[in-house]
Amino acid sequence: MRRKTRAVHVKNRTIGGDAPVSIQSMTNRPARDFAGTIEQIQSLVAAGCEIVRIAVPDTETAAVFSRAREAGITVPLVADIHFDYRIALEAVRHGADKIRINPGNIGSPDRVRAVADACRNAGVPIRIGVNGGSLEKSLLEKYGGPTAEALAESALCQAEMLENMGFHDIVISIKSSRVDTMIHACRKVAAQSDYPLHLGVTEAGTEYSGIIKNAMGIGALLCDGIGDTIRVTLTADPAAEVRAAKEILAAAEVRKNGISIISCPTCGRTKIDLIAITEAYREAISCIDTGDKTITAAIMGCAVNGPGEAREADFGVAGGDGCAILFRHGEKVRRIDEDKLLEVLMEETRRMLENCTI
Ligand code: SF4
């Protein structure tokens, strides 16, 4: 069962409460390149990103938010701020929809209060972003390092500081490059508060290993019912983060929309180029908007075991020798040539999603 959390509104999207777990990513163009950043926001949205974060290293760059709005961007935009509270104030003034800070590195309580007041007046929530690299010295000494206990304590203390300033629209993230630390720290905060949690494994590495680490950390928590928004952090094109996030949410069965692919691992019975066909189909469906519909397609190597093993699929193909069988819900429909496989898979997909945009 999903953990009950307070609902925090970020422009036209809600984090926590009953809202679906949302997908976030971050632009990586220099934010001063306003046109390039806006273009990247648009491509992230096209890939399925629902909240976009932008690093704001100085007050001049904060204008990226008003420029994005002028360009017609409607997705919620988050300002990522470190150290200088004046940048946060400027970002709010320019229309940022959420501020991500680590109050511990913003400076004196007066400065944190100035950010909290500006956010409250603008109806903008704050994400407290804690990670091992920016943990308070006192906690590092108390716990002997950036342990799960230290990270959780830091996040809850910072949240308490904001609450004492009358600020309550708080989201918490606790990130670590260590999967077990991130999981245990998030579980601790989840057990002691109702703050919505933003999940992610930070500095997770390149695409392949990074997806594995994030799937482990985010996936374990989602299966516990913990997590309200996610960002898969990869040393890769941010669009890859969005694709991975969608797969993690689908695998954890917390988001029901989309096209799920069942494909067999191949074996000595496989006589079609199943790996290439599956990859081509995955690529072809990557930009399909399924609305709130969910379908499952199967691509199996042989007719001996394929239709049976993929019985739960809405439709699928099972390979033969230079050909395949099309089946729907485990029942054989007709024989098709191998070179028509992708075409038939797409036809079946369209048939299932009649009213969706392909
Ligand atoms: S579906 Fe057929 S080809 Fe694929 S792994 Fe199973 S037995 Fe092998």
DSSP string, 290-352: -TT-EEEEEEES-TTTHHHHTTTSSEEEEE-SSEEEEEETTEEEEEEEGGGHHHHHHHHHHHH
Task: Give the β-pairing of 229-231 and 77-80.
Answer: unpaired
Fold assignment, 8-251: TIM Barrel (3.20.20)
115 alpha carbon – ligand 1 mean position (Å): 58
Indicate whether 358 pLDDT > 70: no
The residue ranking higher by pLDDT, 136 or 198, is: 198
Rounded CA gap, 349 and 220, in Å?
Answer: 31
Quick check: 357 pLDDT over 60? no
pLDDT of residue 104: 77
Q: Which one has a higher pLDDT value, 305 or 283?
A: 283
CA of 148 to the centre of ligand 1 (A): 43
Which of 56-65, 85-94, 164-173, 245-254 comes out lowest in average pLDDT? Answer: 245-254
d(CA 244, ligand 1 centre) in Å? 26
Local structure of 20: helix, strand or coil? coil
Per-residue pLDDT at 289: 77
Q: How far is the CA of 250 from the centre of ligand 1 (A)?
A: 24
- Please state, in angstroms and rounded to a whole number, the distance separating the CA atoms of residues 239 and 209: 16
- Residue 322 CA to ligand 1 center (angstroms) comes to 15
Please give the C-alpha separations between residue 59 and each of 35, 69, 79, 156, in angstroms, as whole numbers: 18, 18, 11, 28
Comparing C-alpha atoms, which of 30, 74, 72, 73 is closest to residue 54? Answer: 30
Chain position carrying tokens 């691992």: 265
* Residue range 77-83: mean pLDDT, rounded: 95
In the prediction, which pLDDT does 233 show? 93
Q: How confident is the model at residue 255 (pLDDT cuts 50, 70, 90)?
A: confident
Distance from residue 339's CA to the centre of ligand 1 (Å): 20
Closest C-alpha to 199, from 209, 187, 208: 187
Q: What's the confidence (pLDDT) of residue 134?
A: 80
Atom 8, ligand 1: which residue's CA is nearest? Answer: 267
Query: How high is the pLDDT of residue 192?
Result: 97
Residue 150: the pLDDT is 96
Residues whose CB is less than 8 angstroms from the CB of residue 351 and which lie 6 or more positions away in sequence, other chains included: none
Is the model's pTM score more than 0.85?
yes
Tell which atom from ligand 1 comes closest to the C-alpha of 301: 3
Contacts of 205 (CB under 8 A, 6+ apart): 213, 234, 235
C-beta neighbour count of 356 within 10 angstroms: 17
Report pLDDT for 309.
77
Residue with CA at minimum distance from ligand 1 atom 5:
266
CA 254 to ligand 1 center in whole angstroms: 29
Angle between helices 148-164 and 179-192 in degrees, nearest 10: 40
259 CA from centroid of ligand 1 (Å): 21
Q: Which atom of ligand 1 is nearest to the CA of 269?
A: 3
Q: Give the residue-averaged pLDDT of 50-77.
A: 97
CATH architecture under which domain 258-352 falls = 2-Layer Sandwich (3.30)
CB 104 within 8 A of CB 136: yes
**Residue from 271, 230, 270, 266 nearest 250 by CA:** 230
Pocket probe for ligand 1: among 270, 317, 321, 325, the residue whose CB has the most ligand atoms within 8 Å is 270
Q: What is the pLDDT of residue 257?
A: 62
- pLDDT tens string 8-18: 999 999 999 99
- What is the distance between the alpha carbons of residues 244 and 212, in angstroms, rounded to a whole number? 10
Q: What's residue 356's pLDDT?
A: 56
Mutate to test the pocket of ligand 1, among 261, 262, 263, 266 (most ligand atoms within 8 A of CB): 266
The residue assigned the tokens 């397609």 is 297
Which residues form the pocket of ligand 1, taking CB atoms under 6 Å from any ligand atom?
264-267, 269-270, 300-302, 304-306, 309
184 vs 177 pLDDT, higher one:
184
Domain ranges for the chain:
8-251, 258-352
Q: Which atom belonging to ligand 1 lies closest to the Cα atom of 303?
A: 2
